[in-house]
Structure 1
Amino acid sequence: MTTALIADDEPLLRGALAQMLAQAWPELQVAAQARNGREAIKQFDAIQPDVCFLDVHMPGVSGVDVAHHIGRRAHVVFVTAYDKYAVQAFAQGVLDYLVKPVEPARLAETVARLKERLRMAQPASNTEALLRELATQLERRASPPSLRWIRAQVGQTLRLIPVDDIVYLRSEAKYTLIAWRGEAGQACEALISSTLKELITQLDAAQFVQVHRSVVVNLRAISHITRGGNETASVHLKDRKEQLPVSRSYLHLFRQM
């Protein structure tokens, strides 16, 4: 039986990929899931899986570091939130990659390639040069820091909202509604003139996930997910009563529920 390791520091996304793989590749056994790079290395050495799905941007030991350790002992698929540099790094290489949120069609293509390589008993490719290029791209991507504060006019007061306190962002025509946890945990809201599209590029993709074309949610603020009809779902928040819609395009993020 073909075995796999999934490494991602975000449990919701890690579980979602495992569930998608169960549908796209029923014969595959996900033998282990790692919460970070160090754990991924430890689990890889213990179980020696055939395929490793590695989140590129894990804190500390990155997915690239883990791939260096794995070498040619397993087939590696990188999972990344950063489409641009992924394409640049992999365009001329033999490593495969998936862009978050992972699309079922793209995953199916990746699975087909992996099956063929395994059927032909092809060894994992020598990708040291490609890994060095990816590491360089990571450094460039990491140079501009993620957005830490958002300015919002609330009445006559200019508020500086810590990004970590934001619960969700919702598009409102040419504006964006910011919902955040204020002092003493109270629910606060404000409209800002920046569009959701502009803000998404400045947010940490490991923390903020788009669940609808008009909604981005802080993963740390999610309590649970409930399934609805017509291939939809709702996000329930830890300290707020409202529910956020999950559209069909993003439902696969929460298939593990």
Structure 2
Amino acid sequence: MNVATALIADDEPLLRKALVRMLADAWPQLEVVAQARNGREAVEQYEERQPGICFLDVHMPGLSGVEAARFIGRRAHLVFVTAYDRYAVQAFEHGAVDYLVKPVEPARLADTVARLQERLRAAQPATDHEALLEQLEARLRRKDAPASLRWLRVAVGQSLRMVSVDEIDFLRSDEKYTVVAWRGDDGRANDGLIRTPLKELLAQLDGSRFAQVHRSVVVNLHAISHVTRGDNETADIHLKGRADVLPVSRSYLHLFRQM
């Protein structure tokens, strides 16, 4: 069998890097020959390198993963990566096109790798997935699709601040409140309180940007400087420009196992 080659497209560098390393463990013989930051780059990289497998993030700026898949067509085996589990389950319920849900779990990735390897061994042609792509696009366009939270009204002392979600470094449960830590236009670290529970906030956040790393902590992946491994299968997250150190519990360590 020829060497299997792959392309990975995701607009989040941290998640893209993690998937590359997880694939190196799950499928050492697989050669990742191209990486892309958006759908347009994915199409360009595909045309240049012609990999046999494409891992495409569904939600990317500009050209989406679904739109990129239309250009690639049946020339490659596709695996969609999505932060929205129900979209993937509904659109790909027949298993004709595989998918991974963020954060990618090693067991799920192993199943996907096994299916891809079997298709390659059997020399199966890539699936005609046009109908499934249309179904997925329709579901993503539905009016009841969840809109990501954009602003929070945060109590700082006796005043209220409107904080853009893009500025948030992390969220942490604190008894009856949730601590919001962010940086303003001047780059200074700030924090304040809101009454909305962390679990409720997490459901409204962009899953490609924010990840739960502890039962009481959600972090903005863009704010992470580096992660250090600790004892008893734990880790600590260090943030860019902040002294705060956030814990990673055992249940969420797989997010950073390959870092």
Q: Same fold (TM over 0.5)?
A: yes
In structure 2, the CA distance between the partners of 1:196 and 1:107, relative to structure 1 (3 Å rule), is same
Q: Secondary structure at the match of 1:94?
A: coil
Partner of 1:252: 254
- Do the aligned partners of 1:17 and 1:253 also contact (CA within 8 Å) in 2? no
**In the aligned structure 2, how far is the partner of 1:94 from the partner of 1:67?**
14
Q: Which moved more, 1:123-132 or 1:145-154?
A: 145-154
Point out 4+ residue stretches in structure 1 off by more than 3 angstroms: 141-145
Partner of 1:217: 219
Q: In the alignment, does 2:14 pair up with 1:12?
A: yes
> Per-residue CA shift, 1:111-159, capped at 9, x if unaligned?
1111111111111111100000111122227865321211122222122
Q: Using structure 2 for the length normalisation, give the TM-score.
A: 0.93
Partner of 2:39: 37
Aligned residue pairs total: 257
Partner of 2:96: 94
Query: Which residue type is aligned with residue 170 of structure 2?
Result: Y
Q: Which moved more, 1:173-182 or 1:196-205?
A: 173-182
Structure 1: which 5+ runs fail to align?
Answer: none
Q: Using structure 1 for the length normalisation, give the TM-score.
A: 0.94
**In the aligned structure 2, how far is the partner of 1:216 from the partner of 1:182?**
19
Partner of 1:199: 201
**In the aligned structure 1, how far is the partner of 2:98 from the partner of 2:255?**
20
**In the aligned structure 1, how far is the partner of 2:91 from the partner of 2:19?**
22
Structure with more contact order per residue of length (Cα contacts < 8 Å, sep ≥ 6): 1
Q: Secondary structure at the match of 2:75?
A: coil
> Per-residue CA shift, 1:13-57, capped at 9, x if unaligned?
001011111111111111111111111111111111111111000
Query: Which residue type is aligned with residue 212 of structure 2?
Result: Q
Percent of residue pairs identical: 68
The root-mean-square deviation of aligned C-alpha atoms, in Å, is 1.7
> Per-residue CA shift, 1:199-246, capped at 9, x if unaligned?
112112222122222211112222222222333222111121011112
**In the aligned structure 1, how far is the partner of 2:58 from the partner of 2:184?**
33
